[in-house]
Amino acid sequence: MMTSLCEEYYQFLLAQGICSALGLNCIFTAGMSFFPTLSLTYSNVVTATSSVTSWFMKKRGAAYGIMAAGSGLGGVILPIMVSHIMPKIGYGWSMRVCGFLILGLMAIANVTVKSRLPPRPRTFKIAHFIEPFTDMRWVTITISSFLFFMGLFIPINFVEVQSLAAGMSVNLASYLIPILNAGR
């Protein structure tokens, strides 16, 4: 939603680079491991990723695959939707439509996704946040993952521009990102 109001470059960096990344992290990962019981009970808070492990034992891999397929599906539908509605309603409202769509889908997920097991509360200790940095294997995989994803996603930003420069039609070039997302 905040991206629809952006006019300066730094505003896009704040909205997409910081705010969206933090929000996605809270949705996708075990959000309450970052905020262990601060004298509150989080009985209803669960993420889709952590919920799958509590419900499926035998076909856990298939359950994870079905859950992860949603991101690929969104990566196909959203770019096509935006490319069709942006000329009609403008950039700001296109971003708001995407935000409202995601808000509606998240409301459904919040009502339907729950964990089979109750959460195990922990007290807040700063050492829990510092401990992973002492394990060189974790630090190495974190740095290498950062570099890998930078090398993977930065070129994707220029696929459409490069294809247009190489002579591809505008209609086909606008479908390259959905095609890439369908292939993952």
Report how far residue 177's alpha carbon sits from residue 3's, in angstroms, rounded to the nearest whole number.
20
Report how far residue 183's alpha carbon sits from residue 180's, in angstroms, rounded to the nearest whole number.
5
Contact yes or no for 79/181 (Cβ under 8 A): yes
Contact yes or no for 138/132 (Cβ under 8 A): yes
- pLDDT tens, position by position, for the chain (184 residues)? 888 888 899 999 999 888 888 887 777 654 444 444 433 333 344 566 777 778 888 888 888 888 878 777 888 888 899 989 999 999 999 999 998 998 898 888 778 877 777 777 778 888 888 888 999 999 999 999 999 988 988 888 888 899 999 999 988 888 888 888 887 7
Block residue for tokens 């959460």: 119
For the chain, the distance separating the N- and C-terminal CA atoms, rounded to the nearest angstrom, is 27
Residue 123 is given by DSSP the state: -
Amino acid type, 38: L
Tell me how long the chain is.
Answer: 184
Q: What is the pLDDT of residue 48?
A: 65
What residue ranges do the domains of the chain occupy?
1-123, 125-176
